[in-house]
Amino acid sequence: MTSDLDVRLDTEPIATIADRVVLEAEISRLPDPRGTILRLAFCEGQSYPQIAERLDLPLGTVKSHARRALLHLRTRLKEMTSWPT
Amino acid sequence: MAHLNAELLAGHALGQTDELDAEQLKHVASCPQCRAEVDQLHRIVELGQEGPGPDTPPIPEQAMWRNIAAELSIGQAASPTPGPAPEAGVRPEPSQQTAPPQGRGGLRRGFLALAAAIGLIAGVGGTVLVDNLREPEAQVVASATLNPLPGQAGQGTAQLVREGETTQLRVSVTGQAPPPGEEYREVWLINTDGERMYSLGVLPVGGAGAYVVPAGLDDSLDGFTIVDVSLEPYDGNAAHSLNSQVRGTLPV
């Protein structure tokens, strides 16, 4: 399915790049353990049970951190870049 | 049924589908509004996954601060961004691997000072020589319009100017300057790889400034072609505030 968002990203690579820079910096600003959880999930592609075991946190807590971090990143992207509202 | 709340949709975008019951899954599949939101959140997940590898995030900055703190013997208190708690045991501290051996520091500094002195003499001599031979001509290599980001006012231009061996970026931004004391503006060159950027310096309140571009970049600036003017708080944090006023790309 092609959304408006996909079209925008195809036609505006600079916006995508800027979004990625912003996202990268935002992830680096997330407080721990939230930042670590997201980096492990995004960059290392680890599963939630793996992350939970590695950080010695309950699985539900890890998942909840990831969800809230994602919503936070969306808010920041909307505030800081051309991300559509 | 009612739309799913944001957190459930975020979970769905993150692949946590076992958090949803059958009815909720059916709703997401059929509701355009919830579907669009999941798609948007999923795009952020993809952007995050496309980003640089796990070693790139804040660690260089932390290592730098730790080295500065160690050199000044002021301990942990100097770090503006405390690292992960040790008990988290996430990954080894890279600064310990990358820090130069202490014993060679003095020798290296001495060598650098000597090299800098030679460079200064050669540089001054060379400049005088070149000045005597000819006046370098300023040549506009590329220019770009800087457009405001959504929610921002202002417009600007950026010109890449070669003058002899030096490349300068001349930036001019019209529109209201932020109130001095609250925010100032900073000029950046962002790489099209989306991973690296240089801070060129502070934009004067008047909105016009000229900045020397790091020598050693090739004719196409090694990809550092996105000119960005950010609004920076007075927080002493050297990183980009992520709050940009205008932005444009140099056609090089």
Give residue A14's pLDDT. 66
Which residue from B181, B227, B187, B179 is spatially nearest to B203, judged by alpha carbons? B187
Note the pLDDT tens digit of each residue in B1-30.
Answer: 788 889 889 988 888 877 788 888 888 888
Give residue B218's pLDDT. 83
Buried b (16+ CB within 10 A) or exposed e, B114-134: eeeeeeeeeeeeeeeeeeeee
Distance from CA of A8 to the nearest CA of B (A): 12
Q: What is the pTM of this model?
A: 0.42
Which residue from B146, B153, B150 is spatially nearest to B229, judged by alpha carbons? B146
CB count within 10 Å of CB B248 equals 21
Q: What is the CATH number of domain A4-80?
A: 1.10.10.10
Amino acid symbol at B119: G
Kindly indicate the confidence band of residue B145, based on its pLDDT and cuts at 50, 70 and 90: very high
User: CA-nearest residue of chain B to A83?
Assistant: B150
Structure tokens at B42: 């999923």
Pick out chain A residues at pLDDT < 70: 1-15, 81-85
Which residue from B19, B47, B24 is spatially nearest to B35, judged by alpha carbons? B24
pLDDT score of B149 more than 50: yes
Give residue B144's pLDDT. 93
Domain boundaries, chain B: 6-50, 53-82+92-99, 103-135, 138-249
Distance from CA of A21 to the nearest CA of B (A): 5
DSSP character at residue B81:
S
User: CA-nearest residue of chain B to A53?
Assistant: B88
CATH fold, domain B138-249, is Immunoglobulin-like (2.60.40)
Question: Which residues from A are below 8 Å from B7, CB to CB?
Answer: 64, 67-68, 71
Distance from CA of A62 to the nearest CA of B (A): 11
- Per DSSP, the three-state class of B232 is strand
Give residue B230's pLDDT. 92
A24 CB-side CA count, 13 A: 25
